[in-house]
Structure formats: C-alpha cells, structure tokens
A and B are shown apart, each in its own frame.
Chain A
C-alpha cells in the first residue's frame, strides 16, 4: 500500500468518523506531553475523501495535537479506495504495537466483519486465517465469542476493560437486554464478586425470574435486593453473602428451610468443642458422621462426656427426622 506524507490541516480531519477506531483509551495527557517535548514521531494515517480526511490510525495522537493547539500535523495519506485495506491497516497498526484488550479485539473483529455481507461467521471463508494474519485470535470459536462483546453496552465494555467483568460473564450478559445487563454490571461493580460468584448470581436470578414468570429486572429491583445492596452497615463481602442467601432462599425455598432448620437444631444441641456433626450432604444420603478432635486421653474422655450428653438429648433424635 502506498502512502504520501504531507502536512495536513487538523480542521480538515473529520473527527466524527470513528469507523476505524480500535483503541478504547481516551486519555491523551501523556501523549500530549510527549508530543510537546519530542514532536510527533509516528504520523497518523489518514484516508482522503473529497477534501476531508478520515482517521485510520492515530485517534489519540490527533486529539493530543488538538489539545496542544496545533493547526497542522504531519500525516501519512493512504493511497487506496478500498475500505477493507484501511480496516486491515487500522487493525494491524494496533495489534502489532501492543496487546489489545477484549473490547479492542472485539471492535477489530466487528470492523473486519463489515467487509463482508455474510452474517454467519462460520460461512466466512478463511476468517480464522485472516484474523491470525492481522494479529487477532485465530480460532473461530474464540472469534465468535469475542465478537459478541461489541454488542454490549458501553458501561459493560468499560467494566470489561477495568477487569471487573470477564469474558464468560460478558457472554452471559450478552444474552440479556441492555437494561438487565446494566443492572448486573452495577451490582458486580459495587460488590466485586469473583467469577464463580458472578456466574452463580446470574444463574440464580435468571432462574428465579423464569420460574416465577417475572423479569430479571423485577428480581433485581425487588425491595429486599435493593435493601441488601443499599445497606450501609454491611461491607461488600457481607452484602455478597446476604444477597446470595436471599436469592438461594427464593430459588430453593424448601431446601433453604430444611437447611436452616437443621442448622438451628444443631446449634440448639450445643455439642461443644472438639465434636463436629456432619449431616448427609443435601439430605440425600443416609449416613451421618461424627468427628471427634482430641489431643490426649483426657480430652478424649471429655469428648465422650459431651457425646453421651448429645445422645441422651431428646433433641438429637429430631435431627434425623428433618
């Protein structure tokens, strides 16, 4: 591809045209500082259309120059009529300079896909090879997943960039409406739960909504949920725990009730230190386990006394009938 380097008036550059923009960074201070001290080392690449220019590469550099009050900059003008060539140029200019974040990768794939009419990614001949050559992931499976990020709201994309939302969660959110996914995003940004907890919360909420013929928004905007999230006496970990418990109670009311009843009964027994009663997991098996912890014979005798007390307590029997 041929380039012509020329001094270009900034006012002739169409800043509204962001077709080729890959970068998600908007800050320009460090770049402006650098340009001020050493000048524009790497000129942006522009596409001329009539008497105006579109930016292919160098969005931040041009904004930095504007912030410095420059009226003209050195630019490389690409000599092509092919938008596809410009897209490839925009992508490679970014991918071969630095690792792209997920949103930038998604933008790159989305822009690349504008070169074809075909909507089904699996039908695009050589997509994996082209993506690989441009420095993008070359597996169709990954391409399909990453492409979906560009359909998410700006808010979610920002949280992906900030590392609050991972790709698996982003893909879950992509299945929801903008409103719903934004509410989840707010919760995740506030409570910062780990990946597994995020997954669990999404599943619980989706299933509660589906089971009770309401919407996800209704579940999330439920008064009890709001109270938990707004509770100023709880830190984020406590809020996470409270929210999870509340949702589990809604999703599995009978199981939750039985577990609570069992916990209460065990507490009431006051089994004492050094003895642990382990009930069948999920109430499914029939075998109960009693763990005794002791360091010497004296402690063993103490445990035996506690155990005898437990066996003779009529409340112990009730544990087996929950």
Chain B
C-alpha cells in the first residue's frame, strides 16, 4: 500500500525534507493551513483508518522528539526511549493499536529534522546508555521509499558510543543500510510471527522468510540484530507454529549477533475490539480467553500466557542459551515462572538490556 494523497503543512513547505519527499513520491501536493483540513478528509471516509494509511501528511513535530516509552502501571517496563519520527503505517495489521490510538490515525512524517537532530545531540551527550527506537508509533523502515531518514540516523549514531538506535520493522526495506558506516550502534530488529498470523492478520507485510532473509543480509553487513515475538497469539496449533518460527530464525542468523529477543502476547485496549471486528471481520484474534489487565488492557489469561512463554523460552534457550530474552509489559509472576528470575526494581530489565547492548554494540561511556 502506498499513499495516494499528499498533504503538506504550509509551515514546512520550504523545509528540505519536505521538498525531498515531494520529489520522490510523485503525487500532487495539497498545501494545508490547518491540520483539521486533513482530519476532515480522513474522517469523512467510510473507513478512516484506511484513509489515514493512504494519506501522507508532512508536518512539523511540535512536541518532543525523544520520549520515554509510555509503558503502563503495574507491569514491568524496559526503560526504552522513543524517537518520534512520525505516526502510523502503510501496512495493515489487524491488531495494530495505532488504529484506535490516534484520532484520527494519519500517516504523518515530521520533516523538522534539524530540531530532531538537535534534540538527539542532547540525548546522545548524556553520560548514560540510551536505547532509542523509532518503531513505536510507526514502522521504522516504511519511510525508506521516500526519505533518507535511516541513513541520517544510522550515521548520527555511528559517531557516538553511549547509545543504540533500534530500527524495528516488518518490511524488507534494508537496501539503504548496506553501505552505511554504522559502527554497530544501530540494531536492526524484526517483529516476527507465525506464517498463519502473518497471512491472516498482517496485511501488506513481508512474509516470515523474507524478513529473516533481510535480517541475514543485515547480519552480513555487520549490524547487530534483535527480534520481537510481539504480539504472540494463542490459537490451536500455535505452539508448533511458534516453535517453527524459532527454528527458522536461528537457521538464518547467528545467536551471537542477537542483542535481545522480546516476548509479548497480544493485548489491546477495549476500544480496539470493535475496530478489528469492523475492519477485519474474518479475524478471530479478539475471541481468545482475555481478561481485563490491571492497566485496563485486555490480556490473555495469565496461565495461558505463562504456558506459551515457558515453551518459547525453552525453544530459544535450546538453540541460543545465552541470548537475552525479556518480556514487554509483564509482571513478576510471569518473569519468575517463565524465565526463572525476577528483574530487580526499578532498573533490572533496563540494566539487563543495557548490558547486552554494551556487549553487542561496543558501547563505551
């Protein structure tokens, strides 16, 4: 899926990035005085989520570029930082929280890169390890078609030694990374799932084998890698399928080059359920055994989560005993029963991931 409409905020029309993207995207640009014009067009569509994916809006990030990952109350968080480059995605995953996170959701790219780089300079000058990712409110690599963002970011991170950039994706758009000087300060990460889930729930994304081949390429270019089994889904036969994915993963890349693997099962705000039911009427993902979690999100019943995690951990450990595995937003009991330890408060997970980043990415403070 590619955007079919291009809107440009009148305040950024002279920004070099806006001109660059406009020249690459080959769409007539509509200049808008006010973002409400774009919202109006999207909201008047019968499927605003779809319309949001088809409408690229180039604008300025008026807020902070670097933010703490929001996390949630009660569950353990890893202390990640988000580099807020833009919002939404051209791929269409049924479970994507962004469908109900933004009102309305819109494919938005921030072109005030000078501000972004200035903020990044400040953060990178801190005497601490920062794990910074662009894949929280969007996919990190979908922008490769029209922008040179990754090139700029990889190059910027390569010149420092205290922090790592994680580019998280479901695409295979890694070509631009090939000849970059990265100094191992950029981790290329993929979200992985079973073939069945990719086929039925992750519209317009790359197949599993394609993602793993892209990972293999990045490994050959010297990049450290990471993988996220998140969200995992519980369905009949899911265990065999996930086991197969783990096997496939390690038949493509070496455990030594993996900085971390995260595990997380599907969780969603209740408001997402009707969106999925309407936009993906054949999807069964919301009909699992969910309970309301302490943070208000619906989660699989805890014993079911633990059962799947335990197996995943075992399958991964069988092949890669030393690889760092962590959970995204789980509690002490899940950690204890699945990984046989509870990270210490308040920075246990953070320290564990920092240590791995230090080792794999040669960080020096």
- List A residues at the B interface (Cβ < 8 Å): 207, 210-211, 252-255, 258, 282-286
Task: Let me know if B333 and A255 touch, CB within 8 A.
Answer: no
Q: A284-B291, A284-B294 are in contact. Are A255 and B284 (CB under 8 A)?
A: no
Q: Chain A residues with Cβ under 8 A from B284's Cβ? A: 210-211
- Tell whether, in the assembled complex, residue A255 and residue B287 are in contact, meaning their CB atoms are under 8 Å apart: no
Known: A211-B287, A252-B289, A255-B289. A283 touches B304 (CB 8 A): no
Q: How many pairs of residues, A versus B, come closer than 8 Å at their CB atoms?
A: 37
Expressed in whole angstroms, the Cα–Cα distance for A285 and B289 within the complex equals: 17
Docked pose: A255 CA to B74 CA in angstroms: 22
Q: Which residues on the A side are within 8 Å of B289 (C-beta)?
A: 252-255
Interface string of B329-353 (1 = CB under 8 A from A): 0011100000000000000000000
Instruction: Answer whether A254 and B301 are a contact pair too, CB < 8 Å, given A207-B287, A211-B284, A285-B74.
Output: yes
* CB <8 Å contact, A283 and B302: yes
| Residue contact A286 to B301, C-beta cutoff 8 Å | no
Determine if B303 is an interface residue (Cβ-Cβ < 8 Å). yes
Contact B303 A284 (CB under 8 A): no
> For residue B293, which residues in chain A have a CB less than 8 angstroms away from its CB?
284
CA distance A253 to B236 in the complex (A): 14
* B332 and A286 within 8 A (CB): yes
Which are the 9 A-B pairs with shortest beta-carbon distances?
Answer: A282-B291, A211-B287, A252-B289, A255-B301, A207-B287, A254-B289, A283-B302, A255-B289, A286-B333
Contacts of B287 in A (CB 8 A): 207, 210-211
| Cα–Cα distance between A191 and B57 once the two chains are bound (Å) | 54
Using CB atoms, name the residue of chain A closest to B234.
A254
B93-131 interface with A by 8 A CB criterion: none
Across the interface, name the chain A residue whose C-beta is closest to B235.
A211
Task: Report chain B residues within 8 Å CB of A258.
Answer: 301, 303
Counting CB contacts under 8 A, is B299 at the interface?
Answer: yes
Q: 6 A–B contact pairs at CB < 8 A?
A: A252-B301, A255-B301, A283-B301, A283-B302, A283-B303, A286-B331
Give the chain A neighbours of B303 by CB distance below 8 A. Answer: 254, 258, 283
In the assembled complex, the CB of B292 is this many whole angstroms from the nearest CB of chain A, namely 7
Report B224 CB to chain A, min CB distance, Å: 35
Nearest Cβ in chain A — how far from B329, in angstroms?
12
Are the CB atoms of B74 and A282 closer together than 8 Å? no
Please, how many angstroms separate the alpha-carbon atoms of A293 and B125 in the complex? 58
Residue of B74, B293, B303, B304 most packed against chain A (CB within 10 A): B303
Q: Is the pair B332, A284 in contact by a Cβ cutoff of 8 Å?
A: no
Shortest distance between the CB of A213 and any CB in chain B (Å)? 9
User: Residues of B contacting A252 with CB < 8 Å?
Assistant: 289, 301
- Would you give the 0/1 interface string for B294-336, flagging 1 where the beta carbon is closer than 8 Å to chain A? 1000010111100000000000000000000000000111000
Contacts of A210 in B (CB 8 A): 284, 287
A261 to chain B, nearest CB (A): 11
Distance in angstroms from A310 CB to nearest chain B CB is 22
List residues of chain A with CB within 8 A of the CB of B333: 286
Within the assembled complex, what's the spacing in Å between the Cα atoms of A252 and B303? 13
Known contacts A211-B284, A254-B289; is A284 also within 8 Å of B304 by CB? no
Q: List 10 extra interface pairs beyond A254-B304, A255-B289, A282-B301, CB under 8 A.
A: A252-B301, A254-B303, A255-B301, A283-B302, A283-B303, A284-B292, A284-B293, A284-B294, A284-B299, A285-B74
In the assembled complex, how far is the CB of residue B6 from the closest CB belonging to chain A, in whole angstroms?
A: 27
A210 CA to B331 CA in the complex, in Å?
Answer: 31
Contacts of A286 in B (CB 8 A): 331-333
Residues of B within 8 A of A211 (CB): 284, 287
Q: Return the chain A residue nearest B304 by Cβ.
A: A254
Inter-subunit contact A255/B294 (CB<8 Å):
no
Cα(A174)–Cα(B332), bound, Å: 46
Residue on A with the closest CB to B295? A284
Contact B291 A255 (CB under 8 A): yes
| Distance to closest chain A CB from B234 (angstroms) | 10
A283, B334: Cα distance in complex, Å:
12
Cβ distance A319 to chain B, nearest Cβ, rounded Å: 14
| Contact A285/B291 with A211-B284, A254-B303, A254-B304 known, Cβ cut-off 8 Å | no
**Distance of A123 Cα from B74 Cα, bound (Å):** 48
Contacting pair B304 A285 (CB below 8 A): no
Q: How far is the CA of A44 from the CA of B302 in the complex (A)?
A: 68
Name the B residues within 8 Å of A282 (CB-CB): 291-292, 301-302
Bound Cα distance from A255 to B284, whole angstroms: 18
Find chain B residues with CB under 8 A from A254 CB. 289, 301, 303-304
Give the residues in chain A near B332, CB-CB below 8 Å: 286
List the A side residues contacting B302 at CB < 8 Å. 282-284
Contacts of B294 in A (CB 8 A): 284-285
How far apart are the CA atoms of A102 and B289 in the complex, in Å? 37
What's the minimum C-beta distance from B293 to chain A, rounded to whole angstroms?
A: 6
- Give the docked Cα–Cα distance between A255 and B293 (Å): 14
Question: Per-residue 0/1 for B190-217: is the Cβ within 8 Å of any A Cβ (1 yes, 0 no)?
Answer: 0000000000000000000000000000
CB distance from A208 to the nearest CB of B (A): 9
CB distance from A192 to the nearest CB of B (A): 28
Query: B263-302: contact bitstring with A at CB < 8 Å (1 yes, 0 no)?
Result: 0000000000000000000001001010111100001011
Report the separation of the CA atoms of residues A210 and B282 in the bound assembly, to the nearest whole angstrom: 9
Most buried by B among A210, A253, A284, A285: A284
Neighbouring B residues of A207 by C-beta, 8 Å: 287
Q: Nearest residue in B to A210 (C-beta to C-beta)?
A: B287
CB of A190 to closest CB in B, whole Å: 27
Min Cβ gap B201→A in Å is: 15
Closest residue of A by beta carbon distance from B292? A282
> What residues of chain A lie closer than 8 Å to B304, measured between beta carbons?
254
Q: Taking the nearest CB of chain A, how far is it from the CB of B174, in angstroms?
A: 38
Interface string of B73-89 (1 = CB under 8 A from A): 01000000000000000
Chain A residues, CB < 8 A from B301: 252, 254-255, 258, 282-283
Measured in the bound complex, the distance between the Cα atoms of B301 and A284 in whole Å is 8
Cα A258 to Cα B303 in complex, Å, equals 9
Task: Determine the distance from Cα of A235 to Cα of B46 in the docked complex, in whole angstroms.
Answer: 46
A237–B258 alpha-carbon span in the complex (Å): 58
